[in-house]
Amino acid sequence: MAYKFIGCEIIYREACYLTATASRRVDVEFLHKGLHDLSREDMVAKIQEAVDAVPGGRGYEAILLGYARCNDGLVGVTARDIPLVIPKAHDCITFFFGSRQGNREYFDATPGTYYMTSGWAERNGSDFASADDGAECYRHPAANRYGRDGYSRPAYGQEGVMAKLGLTETYESMVEKYGKENADYIIESLGGWAKCYEKCLYLEMGVCNERPFQEVAEEWAKKNDWAYESRKGSMSLLQRLFAGEWDDDFLIVPPGKSIVARQDETILGCEQMA
């Protein structure tokens, strides 16, 4: 028996480490981080496409989803012939704390924290202008929100949420279309997100030499005038996902059922598909 893992490339190093040390075979597949820039419907469609492409004759016991609720980007994804298993978490930061409780305790104590890991440090450029798939890139007005080079593109060549809102134009085109005062306001509003944070926390997962990634986090904190902290994370939740130790921290979606959102501590549930 084997597992199929489909997950966000943000957890690439952790997932590869767990695959290499797993007691059974795990075949892995990673989707671009840029899925989070798409609308919910587009993200669901892309994940469903990956799930549907898993061959039924390979002997997979389950498909492990390396995603959290992620702004409801999993809501509506349906298990076909193979059960789906997904951690009950609001976002991927829970993966690096090892539990919802650990994430919640730190968040409550330090709400103005921007989180970084090796994946966020090195994969935040996977949707940038260096991509080799020929997708059109654009210079975003709030460039530092998207990475050090400031270039972003819609995931998988699709139109992202920012583009649908008309917020991916150059400053010059905004001035021409809306006038300088309005253009300046738009730029200031888009770039004001950094004021919501006071600290950058790097979570060290111990799967490689993470010093280069910590330096990126330190640079990011300095650039935004934040405090900086580095602390050890926990692989507990991801380890249990890969080991098949699925307790109440995981949702198991049987064939024929779809993922739904729960407005309580369970976060995710499943229902029979229509």
Q: Per-residue pLDDT for 75 more than 80?
A: yes
Distances (CA, A) of 45 to 27, 94, 133: 21, 24, 20
Percent of the chain with pLDDT over 90: 63
Mean pLDDT of 21-40: 89
Give the CA count within 13 Å in the CB-facing half-sphere of 130: 9
CA 261/CA 270 separation, integer angstroms? 8
Q: Which residue has the higher pLDDT, 174 or 27?
A: 27
Each residue's pLDDT tens digit, 83-135: 999 999 999 999 999 999 999 999 999 999 999 999 999 887 533 333 333 33
Cα(144)–Cα(123) distance, rounded to whole angstroms? 15
So what's the pLDDT on residue 139? 32
CA distance linking residue 207 with residue 20, whole number of Å? 11
Q: Determine the Cα angle at 129 with ends 125 and 132, to 5°.
A: 95
* HEC secondary structure over 44-109: HHHHHHHHHCCCHHHCEEEEEEECCCCCCCCCCCECCCCCEEEECCCCCHHHHHCCHHHHHHHHHH
What SS3 state is found at 212? helix
Mean pLDDT value across the chain: 84
Domain boundaries, the chain: 2-89+235-272
pLDDT in tens, 224-274: 999 999 999 999 999 999 999 999 999 999 999 999 999 999 999 999 976
2: tokens are: 């084997």
Amino acid at 222: K
Q: Report the run of H or E that residue 203 belongs to, with start and end.
A: strand 199-204
